[in-house]
């Protein structure tokens, strides 16, 4: 069944005094979080740059800006084209959308090694078909890995937007004699273009901030990004804050410019477009698989099946079961798994709480709606390393990057995930059934009970989806972890790195499988729940 509820006009919004009281709380919470954990760290970063203006125009940093921008542009353009086709092809099948969402949780290190496993000198494709990439360790390989990772995500967003295309408009156009191409261009395209464009902007930012993929597949300088430059300036040898801040600021310029241009466009075209751009994640679904659905399934499989190589790696002398239950490994991976889960769940709780408070603020106070969307979108252009650096500069008196702080890690991870959560919540927020809440209130229900009866069922799925996706992504995250971990706080990715340094390659492989399975399971469960039809029948 399709999602049929339409956004309720603003005039229908009747926010009572009780709701305003709760609204004030959400606004305060959201505002405080944003100021403390986004604004202050970034201001601290900007204040530092006063002392390092020369570094900002350092030729080596400027050349990195050029390389980063070129790499991100190519990656985004190709991901955009492929993602658009994937999204359109998969829009009829919920199960295919689920597959499109899965790569989102796969760590970038696994993506890089996947490209190597397939195209490397001893990879599957050269071994079986003689196909080899002569440019495996170059920027072209980086672009290929970025497309593998990001095209499904754009497809996921486009498929969501496709669900919003009004069938009545399409049927009317056909009745009036429009050809399929004309229907596609004038009706379908106009409904998905904004979701696609914002997906591109998001992917561009992700590619600018790419770290592990560039390091592993780039082949070394000059093929590197500003993110690598930030890392080398603050984490190795000597502490060069000037170089790190200059790189971070250039990165901010690169990632935020497209966001600001898009927001400027939204401002000019009004809130309606903004709402439509943040397209819902549900759509018209069909249970039967038709011919074209099978073709689409094949296309999607190309973006997921490659990752399964980690299960069939031949050079390993230890099976996954031996890793899991081995006498030596069990005692080591279990505590790290617990730390990883604790971090993932904490990040997910913070993500959901902050994103919900921002979105609810916008619902209860319509004047804040646009602002809350802008503020929640903003971290999409800020890399975790940049934020972590700002965080340290602002709070170094209290938080030591070497002492270990799970809260700092969770906050950083949650902040970076806020734009994705916004994307999940926003469509639900734009269709709040105020008249139902009013009806429940007039029947004597308390504000909370009225919301529980009339809204809770609509929010449950998206909240679960955002929670699962944030938790899944957090499991493999390493940038925030590398800043604030300690000996008592060793999550799985760090344990893996430690084992790799001690020739324990088989055990490290076990961790990568464990991370892959846990993260994809979390995303699959949550996304499936989030994609369920959300309409409830009222007697």
Q: Which is nearer to another protein, 113 or 459 (CB)?
A: 113
CB 451 within 8 A of CB 370: no
Name the nearest CA neighbour of 74 among 138, 144, 135.
144
Q: Which is nearer to another protein, 426 or 504 (CB)?
A: 504
DSSP per position, 472-535 = HHHHH--HHHHHH-BTTB--HHHHHHHHHTTT-HHHHHHHHHHHHHHHHHHHHHHHHHHTS---
In the complex, least distance from residue 453 CB atom to another protein, rounded to whole angstroms: 52
Euclidean distance between CA atoms 353 and 360, whole angstroms: 10
In the complex, least distance from residue 510 CB atom to another protein, rounded to whole angstroms: 15
CB 261 within 8 A of CB 200: no
Q: Which is nearer to another protein, 232 or 257 (CB)?
A: 232
Euclidean distance between CA atoms 399 and 350, whole angstroms: 19
In the complex, least distance from residue 249 CB atom to another protein, rounded to whole angstroms: 20
Helix (H, G, I), strand (E, B) or coil at 14: coil
In the complex, least distance from residue 121 CB atom to another protein, rounded to whole angstroms: 5
Residue 399, token pair as written in the block: 């938080």
Map tokens 């699962």 to a residue. 468
Q: Which is nearer to another protein, 168 or 315 (CB)?
A: 315
In the complex, least distance from residue 254 CB atom to another protein, rounded to whole angstroms: 20
Q: Which is nearer to another protein, 246 or 437 (CB)?
A: 246
Map tokens 């950083």 to a residue. 412
Q: Which is nearer to another protein, 99 or 226 (CB)?
A: 226
In the complex, least distance from residue 308 CB atom to another protein, rounded to whole angstroms: 17
Q: Is the four-CA dihedral 348, 2, 200, 117 of positive or negative sign?
A: positive
In the complex, least distance from residue 306 CB atom to another protein, rounded to whole angstroms: 16
Q: Which is nearer to another protein, 9 or 327 (CB)?
A: 327
Q: Which is nearer to another protein, 31 or 41 (CB)?
A: 41
Euclidean distance between CA atoms 61 and 243, whole angstroms: 8
Euclidean distance between CA atoms 478 and 124, whole angstroms: 28
489: β partners: 486
In the complex, least distance from residue 126 CB atom to another protein, rounded to whole angstroms: 11
In the complex, least distance from residue 217 CB atom to another protein, rounded to whole angstroms: 8
Q: Find how far residue 94's CA is from the centre of its chain.
A: 19
Euclidean distance between CA atoms 529 and 168, whole angstroms: 28
In the complex, least distance from residue 363 CB atom to another protein, rounded to whole angstroms: 43
Map tokens 């296309």 to a residue. 299
Q: Which is nearer to another protein, 464 or 499 (CB)?
A: 499
Q: Which is nearer to another protein, 288 or 397 (CB)?
A: 397
Q: Dihedral through CA 120, CA 121, CA 126, CA 131, nearest 10?
A: 70
- The binding site for another protein (CB under 8 A) comprises 60, 63, 116, 120-122, 136-137, 215-216, 219-222, 231-232, 234-239, 315, 317, 328, 331-332, 396-397, 400-402, 482, 485-487, 494-495, 497-505
In the complex, least distance from residue 398 CB atom to another protein, rounded to whole angstroms: 10
In the complex, least distance from residue 427 CB atom to another protein, rounded to whole angstroms: 40
CB 37 within 8 A of CB 410: no
Residue 487, token pair as written in the block: 């000996």
Q: Which is nearer to another protein, 265 or 395 (CB)?
A: 395
In the complex, least distance from residue 146 CB atom to another protein, rounded to whole angstroms: 18
In the complex, least distance from residue 230 CB atom to another protein, rounded to whole angstroms: 12
Rounded to 5 degrees, what angle do the CA atoms 243, 249, 254 make?
A: 125
Euclidean distance between CA atoms 206 and 211, whole angstroms: 10
Q: Find how far residue 30's CA is from the centre of its chain.
A: 20
Query: Count of H helices and E strands in the chain?
Result: 27, 0
Q: Which is nearer to another protein, 53 or 334 (CB)?
A: 334
Please name the residue ranges forming H helices in 35-178: 40-49, 53-56, 59-90, 94-101, 108-119, 124-129, 139-162, 167-175
Name the nearest CA neighbour of 101 among 497, 538, 467, 525.
525
Q: Which is nearer to another protein, 236 or 325 (CB)?
A: 236
For residue 472, say if its preceding peptide bond is cis, omega within 30 degrees of 0: no
CA atoms within 13 A on the CB side of 338: 7
Q: Which is nearer to another protein, 512 or 526 (CB)?
A: 512
């Amino acid at each position: 069944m399709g999602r049929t509820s339409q956004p309720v006009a603003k005039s229908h919004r009747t926010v009572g005094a009780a709701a305003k009281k709760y609204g004030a709380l959400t606004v305060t919470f959201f505002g405080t979080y944003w100021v403390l954990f986004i604004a202050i760290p970034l201001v601290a970063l900007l204040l530092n740059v006063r002392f390092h203006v020369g570094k900002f125009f350092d030729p080596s940093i400027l050349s990195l800006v050029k390389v980063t921008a070129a790499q991100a542009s190519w990656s985004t353009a190709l991901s955009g084209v492929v993602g658009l086709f994937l999204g359109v092809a998969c829009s009829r099948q919920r199960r295919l959308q689920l597959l499109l969402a899965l790569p989102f949780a796969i760590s970038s290190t696994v993506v890089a090694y996947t490209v190597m496993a397939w195209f490397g000198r001893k990879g599957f494709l050269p071994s079986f078909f003689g196909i080899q990439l002569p440019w495996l360790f170059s920027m072209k390989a980086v672009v290929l890995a970025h497309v593998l990772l990001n095209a499904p995500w754009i497809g996921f967003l486009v498929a969501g937007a496709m669900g919003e295309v009004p069938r009545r408009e399409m049927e009317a156009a056909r009745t009036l004699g429009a050809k399929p191409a004309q229907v596609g261009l004038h009706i379908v395209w106009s409904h998905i273009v904004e979701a696609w464009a914002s997906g591109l902007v998001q992917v561009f930012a992700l590619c600018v901030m790419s770290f592990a993929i560039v390091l592993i597949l780039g082949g070394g300088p000059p093929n590197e990004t500003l993110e690598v430059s930030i890392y080398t300036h603050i984490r190795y040898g000597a502490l060069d804050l000037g170089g790190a801040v200059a790189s971070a600021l250039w990165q901010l310029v690169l990632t935020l410019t497209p966001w600001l241009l898009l927001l400027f466009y939204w401002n000019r075209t009004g809130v309606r477009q903004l709402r439509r751009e943040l397209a819902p994640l549900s759509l018209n679904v069909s249970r039967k698989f038709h011919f074209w659905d099978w073709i689409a399934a094949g296309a999607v499989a190309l973006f997921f099946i490659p990752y399964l190589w980690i299960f069939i790696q031949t050079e390993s002398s230890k099976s996954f079961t031996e890793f899991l239950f081995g006498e030596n490994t069990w005692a080591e991976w279990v505590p790290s798994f617990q730390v990883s889960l604790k971090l993932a769940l904490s990040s997910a709780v913070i993500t959901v709480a902050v994103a919900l408070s921002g979105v609810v603020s916008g619902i209860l106070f319509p004047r804040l709606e646009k602002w809350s969307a802008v503020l929640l979108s903003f971290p999409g252009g800020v890399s975790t390393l940049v934020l972590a650096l700002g965080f340290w500069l602002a709070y170094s008196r209290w938080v030591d990057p070497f002492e270990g702080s799970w809260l700092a890690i969770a906050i950083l991870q949650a902040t970076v995930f806020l734009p994705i959560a916004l994307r999940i919540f926003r469509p639900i927020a734009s269709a709040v059934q105020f008249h139902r809440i009013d009806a429940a209130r007039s029947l004597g229900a308390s504000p909370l009970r009225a919301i529980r009866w009339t809204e809770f069922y609509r929010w449950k799925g998206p909240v679960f989806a955002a929670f699962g996706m944030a938790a899944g992504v957090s499991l493999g995250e390493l940038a925030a972890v590398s800043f604030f971990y300690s000996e008592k706080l060793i999550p799985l990715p760090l344990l893996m790195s430690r084992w790799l340094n001690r020739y324990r390659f088989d055990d490290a492989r076990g961790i990568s499988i464990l991370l892959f399975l846990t993260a994809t399971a979390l995303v699959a469960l949550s996304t499936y729940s989030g994609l369920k039809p959300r309409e409830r029948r009222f007697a």
